[in-house]
Amino acid sequence: MFSSIIDSHCHLDFPKFSKDRDEAISRAREAGVEAMINSGIDFKTNLSSLRLAEQYDFIYATAGLSPSVASTKDDERIGEVLKQLSELGEKVIGIGEAGLDYYHYKELGQRQKQKETFEKVIEIADGFGKPLIIHGRDAEDECFEMSKNLETVVFHCYGGSLETMEKIADAGHYISIPTLVCFSEHHQEIAKSVPQELMIIETDSPYLSPRKGRNEPAYLADSLEVIAKLRGITAEEVATITTKNTRKAFKI
């Protein structure tokens, strides 16, 4: 167990936790996870993230509009979430996840829709002075160019190039290393290279498990040992550094 870790991005409100949500949260606390940031992706999960944050004083909520929603032809649904973000901005600690996903969405029309929607989300984050949490997949460089002038940006589950990561770091934005680092060589390169003062960690639970099956915040501890070995420091130091950075990024 570590003295203090923060899972900077998880989805504890998702159905995969319906049967044992409280137990999963307890396991996280027992593993040293002192706080969890639960990220909304659409109208429903923005509300359920807030409910979790109201239920547990160590869980914090962000409200977002994912590329999967932004890619739809349902302008009414997109507009509804944008309006919701404008209403929830004061109640959450960050805006996102939001961004561009060119891995799952290949059509130019879908990508253009994502960009137009992301622009609006960026404006909302900027208006509230809240951190923007970016989902960028195969579009990290474009996400950076669109958001680089914001005060605080977190690249959630970063998997882009080292070159783009350098640009992100030069702008003073944060890189979040997922539990994928336990088995992905590319993410290990990222973990080795990211500036210490901009490194935070996450599980993206219930996804990207370093073990078999569903991921959960308790498994964040698995990545600490891997990152520590890569950087030539102790796992406890990784925990201390990333906790400090997460608190600074999200003002918690």
Tens digits of per-residue pLDDT, 110-168?
999 999 999 999 999 999 999 999 999 999 999 999 999 999 999 999 999 999 999 99
pTM, to two decimals: 0.97
Cβ proximity of 102 and 111 under 8 Å: yes
Residue 234: CATH number of its domain: 3.20.20.140
Cβ proximity of 194 and 169 under 8 Å: yes
Element (H, E) at 124: helix 108-128
Instruction: Give CA–CA dist 140/158, Å, rounded.
Output: 8
* Number of structural domains found in the chain: 1
Tokens of 24: 């999963």
Q: What pLDDT is attached to residue 1?
A: 65
Low-confidence ranges of the chain (pLDDT < 70): 1
Tokens of 9: 């991005």
Instruction: Give CA–CA dist 185/46, Å, rounded.
Output: 33
Q: What pLDDT is attached to residue 3?
A: 72
Q: Which range of residues forms the domain containing residue 132?
A: 5-250
Q: What pLDDT is attached to residue 159?
A: 97
Q: What pLDDT is attached to residue 178?
A: 98
Q: Helices marked H in the chain — which ranges? A: 21-30, 43-55, 67-70, 75-88, 108-128, 140-147, 162-170, 185-193, 220-231, 235-250
The one-letter code for the residue type at 156 is H
Instruction: Give CA–CA dist 70/109, Å, rounded.
Output: 11
